[in-house]
Amino acid sequence: MMLDLTIYGKAEPAGSKRWVPLKNRKGVRVIDANPRAADWKRLVADESALVWKGRPLLDTALVLNVLFYRPHPKSHYRTGRRAGELKEFHRVYPTTKPDLLKLTRAIEDALTGIVYRDDSLICLETLHKLYGDPIRVEIHLDRL
């Protein structure tokens, strides 16, 4: 495995992008629709840089496996004497927003320029959105 990384915390999706023209200059500024995405991407980039330790950027076909663990909603838990326990029958997979591809886009963007040259090198992905505690993202990257 080239990169094996677990990041604790709530993953944020990289939303749609907006291009805003710069005043008095040529060019545009790209703004992410999700204002929390920048902090999340920075955390992923910082953690991956610590693990990668300045090794040369990968420039080959890659396989990326990402597991997103989301928090269980309150409705999954019992109340009363057994408060805090998960109900016997609860949803296994989170089927609510954010969508899996936008969550993954933030990870791919954050690793660009730190672990690999460009996210276009990713040729195979396995993605999972699950419930789990603690909430976290597990990233596994390898050569294809």
CATH number assigned to the domain comprising residue 68: 3.30.1330.70
pLDDT (mean) for 1-9: 92
The Cα–Cα gap between 126 and 128 comes to 7
Domain count, the chain: 1
Q: What is the pLDDT of residues 25-55, one digit of tens each?
A: 778 877 777 778 889 999 999 999 999 998 9
What residue numbers bound the domain in which 82 lies?
A: 3-16+27-143
Question: For residue 72, what are its two tokens?
Answer: 């269980």
Of 76-80, 94-98, 118-122, least confident by mean pLDDT is 76-80
Question: What is the reported pLDDT for 116?
Answer: 97
Confidence grade of residue 60 (pLDDT, cut at 50, 70, 90): very high
In a domain, 21, yes or no: no
Contacts of 88 (CB under 8 A, 6+ apart): none
In a domain, 58, yes or no: yes
Fill in the DSSP letter of residue 53.
Answer: T
Confidence grade of residue 115 (pLDDT, cut at 50, 70, 90): very high
In a domain, 22, yes or no: no
Fill in the DSSP letter of residue 109.
Answer: H
For residue 49, the SS3 value is helix
Please answer whether residues 13 and 37 qualify as being in contact, where contact means their C-beta atoms are separated by less than 8 angstroms.
yes
Fill in the DSSP letter of residue 11.
Answer: -
**pTM here?**
0.84
In a domain, 136, yes or no: yes
